[in-house]
Each structure stands twice: as C-alpha cells, then as structure tokens.
Structure 1
Amino acid sequence: MLAPDSDPSVLRVATYNIHKGVQGLGPARRLEIHNLALAVETLDADIVCLQEVRRLNHREAGYFTRWPELPQADFLAPEGYEAVYVTNAFTRHGEHGNALLSRWPVSGHRHEDMSDHRFEQRGLLHVEVLVTGQPVHVIVVHFGLIPASRRRQAEQVRRYIQREIPAGAPVVVAGDFNDWGSRVQRVLAQDALHGFEGPRTYTYPSRLPVVQLDHIYARGLRPIGLMAPRGRVWHRMSDHLPLIAEFRM
C-alpha cells in the first residue's frame, strides 16, 4: 500500500464505489457500512470520492437493526473530515448519489445532472477544496452503463470544466466510469486530464479484479503513484475495490 506522506505538497486522493453499504441479495444480504467506515479511515486519503452513497433508504433502515441514523456520507467521514453529498437518483425507498470527504477545508460545491436517458439517473458533484490554501477542484462522477452514454458524459465533463473552472487551476476527476477501454481517456485527454492504470490497479470485480472501472484523472498535479488494495477484507465490503492516487501539488 502507498505509505501516508506527511509532506503537505503531496495530495492523496481515493475513489470508492461503496455499493450503497450493502452486499449480497435478498435475505442473504449483509450490512457493510460499519466496515466501510473503518476502511475509509485506513485509506488515510486527504480526499475521498464516493459513489452509490445512500442519504436514506426506508426499506433497508427497517431491515437492518444497525442501520446508521446519519446519512452514509456523514457516517463514513473520519473525525475532522468534512462531508459533501448530493443526490443523483430518487428511488421508491429513498435516494442515493455521490459524496466527497475532505481533510482540507471545503470552500464550495455544485451539482449538475448527467442523466443521459430516463433509465439511469446520474450526476456530477463538483467540490472546491483548499489544499494548503490553494483551490483544487474535485469532480466526482459515476458514468452510465451504455458506451455511447459514457462518451456523452465525458464530453459533458469537458464542457463543465471549461465553463466552471478557471483555466490552469488544478482539477481532479474521479469516480466509477464503468469504462475499461480508452474512449473516456481520449475525450478527457483533450483538456490535459490524464489518468494512468496497470495490472495492479484493476478494481472490478473486487473478488477477482480483471478491469479498472474506477479512475482518477488530474490536471495541474504531478502523479506519484497509484494502487488498489487487495484482499478478502476488501472484496467483502463492495463489488469494487478502492483506488488511491498520490499527486505532487
């Protein structure tokens, strides 16, 4: 695992699809949100980008006796972190969306709908974080299941950055892209957003990862390292592994 670095010029970013804090189906499903809270803390990331985060779900709250009273983003935030959550999807029993947990102060956030069709509710969460006083713009995404949708959503991210973020400002785009090819990479690279990957950064499926669906792209930050933790404890908590990147400011 990447060693935590006390150097303030090093920014440690993680992205994690937490599968709504529940694993399994039907009566065999189990609540993993308490284990996920411990896992998020062990990542020791300055910024944690989360997908499939529940704000509330009446059915699961009635089924599990240890369902947290707090919304999941607040429950998962380690002590001293600020949590930002925005809903992407409204369902029969509740709602879920993207979240960001930050060790550094948050100066503001915005949300933009990214739904490409009526069967998938998607959104973009943009959070401005002050890292040693310098604004860093972090965008948390969860792209669609259809390849054409993902390309259109990547183009939407490009337009959003051009419209809402000052030229030259450091930008991180992180999340579950549902993409294992180079289509999204090629689109984002047009705006100098670069990511990297390799056999040790596969994130899906967590039990036996063979592809990297989760990515961390950056502009204006120098990459130092990237890794995805492995092991039984991780594949029990979600169908995705977390991805951790370190950057030099």
Structure 2
Amino acid sequence: MLKAGPQRPSGNSAAAESPLRLRLLTLNTHKGFNAFNRRFVLHELREAIRGMAADLVFLQEVQGQHEGHRGRHPNWPTQPQYEFLADSIWSQYAYGRNAVYTEGHHGNAVLSKFPIIHNDNHDISIAGPERRGLLHCVLRLPDGHPELHLFCAHLSLLESHRREQAERLLALIQLKVPPEAPLLVAGDFNDWRCSLHQRLRRVGLEELWVGSQGRAARSFPAAWPLLRLDRIYARNFRQASPLSLSPAPWSRLSDHLPLAAEVSL
C-alpha cells in the first residue's frame, strides 16, 4: 500500500552540490505491544518515534489489521498502525503485507518525509508458518539528488532460510537498483550469528555498526540486549554513521531496541 502525491520526473542525475543529511530509524514494533505482550503501547511508541525526528522510519511486524485486538483494546486506532504512527509527521508511507490470518495481517512499513515514487513488496517466505517479506521503496529527494532506494527487511528465524532470503535480496538489488544509486537496507535480520555481512558486501553494502565499532549492535531482548539481530546497511553515501540511543523508553515499547543512523549524500 502506498500513499504518495502525483509522480514527477526525477531530478538531475548529477549529485547536488550541497550535502543532504538524512536521519533514519529501524524498529521491530512487535505489533504495538511490549515484551511478552503484556501492554498495548502503540501510543507511547508513536511519541518515542516522533521524538527521534527521523526522516525515514523502517518498521517490521507492524499491524495492518486485527479485528480481535480492536475489540479488546479500547485505544486501538481506527486506521492501520503504520498510518497511526505516520500521523502528520511522515506524509508518505508504504506497507508490505507479509502474514495474513483470520483476524487480520501484519508486515513491514516505511514512513518517509520525501515522496515515495515507487514501492513493491516481495514475498521471501521459504516454508512453514513464517511469512517474511522485503519492502522496496524508491524516494524522490530534493535539490537534484539521485533517487534513494530502500529495502525494509524481516528475515527468518532459521539460518538456512536466512541465507536463501539474503540471496533473494542480493538478486533484487542487482535487478532493481542502479549500481550508482544510494541504497539503504534496514530491519530485523534475526542474524544472531552475524553470518550475513560478507554476503551483503558482494553488492557493496556495509553495516554501519560493523564499520564503526567492529560488531553489529545488540538489540534483543530489549530489556537486556544480548543478540545482534537488527541492522542498517548502506551503499553510495558520502558519510554514514550510527547513532547512540538510550534504552529508555525503548526497552518498554517492544521486544527489540531500535537502531538509528545519520547518512549524507
């Protein structure tokens, strides 16, 4: 699903003279519930995300619809969760439905302050009940900067599935993203063994925490982060740096901690 204004031709292919700085955030929202599903915290989560002043937000496990929860929680929003989170801050959003069940569906979403001129969702589920997807978006940036490509990713819990899903991601990048285009890939990779970095380097993607600190960031479980599950990969930026976040209030708002970064073109 996409909300965007009328499409216009892309800007000048040459890089703009003045750098464009972008702040981004990625988070597995746990469908709007805190760890162990004890509280519905979507309203608090919206305030925390707003406070980051991010230009781009990558969301995983965001609820598109759930009729059962709507009846049980009086503060359940009337619109899909990605629209509720976007509110008046991010005028553009795209949603990729991954898992569909009797009461509703959930998937990945991207919120953007820049026009989304194209989006498509790719089913990368392998087998069994896990439904996984890659949401690809193309953004039109101001001042003659090249179009920005994004992939919001949520990979499998099984390592053999993750390897195959990473190969599908690489194939999509080679098919859909021009080699010179700026590219961000962010989300929940479930790659606790950190085995995917070398694969993604084959298309020039570098993980920001690995490049800056030598290791991916610990993000799960949110209250006592031990596992390095969430990632931000970048290609073709002048600069790309991770940002440090305080655990509060994030550790109360999901089972994952978010990652944030600043990049410049």
TM over 0.5: yes
Alpha-carbon deviation of 1:206?
Answer: 0.9
Alpha-carbon deviation of 1:78?
Answer: 4.3
Regions of 4+ moved over 4 Å: none
Alignment equivalent of 1:121, drawn from 114, 123, 131: 131
Within the alignment, does 1:17 sit opposite 2:43 as a pair? no
Within the alignment, does 1:239 sit opposite 2:252 as a pair? no
1:40 and 1:78 in contact (8 A); partners too: no
Within the alignment, does 1:96 sit opposite 2:106 as a pair? yes
Alpha-carbon deviation of 1:23?
Answer: 2.3
Alignment equivalent of 1:143, drawn from 123, 134, 155: 155
Shifted more, 207-216 versus 190-199: the winner is 190-199
Pairing 1:87-236 to 2, within 5 Å after superposition? 87-132=97-142, 133=144, 134-197=146-209, 198=213, 201-236=217-252
Name structure 2 gaps, 5 residues minimum: 1-17
Pairing 1:20-31 to 2, within 5 Å after superposition? 20-25=31-36, 29-31=38-40
Alpha-carbon deviation of 1:156?
Answer: 0.4
Give SS of 1:30's match: coil
* 1:248 equivalent in structure 2: 264
Question: Separation in 1 of the partners of 2:247 and 2:259?
Answer: 14
Question: Separation in 2 of the partners of 1:218 and 1:34?
Answer: 30
* 1:3 equivalent in structure 2: none
Aligned-residue Cα RMSD (Å) equals 1.7
* 1:75 equivalent in structure 2: 84
Question: Separation in 2 of the partners of 1:135 and 1:224?
Answer: 17
Name structure 1 gaps, 5 residues minimum: 1-6
Q: Which amino acid aligns with 1:79?
A: S
Shifted more, 49-58 versus 71-80: the winner is 71-80
Alpha-carbon deviation of 1:200?
Answer: 9.0
TM-score by length of 2: 0.86
1:230 and 1:241 in contact (8 A); partners too: no
How many equivalent pairs are there? Answer: 241
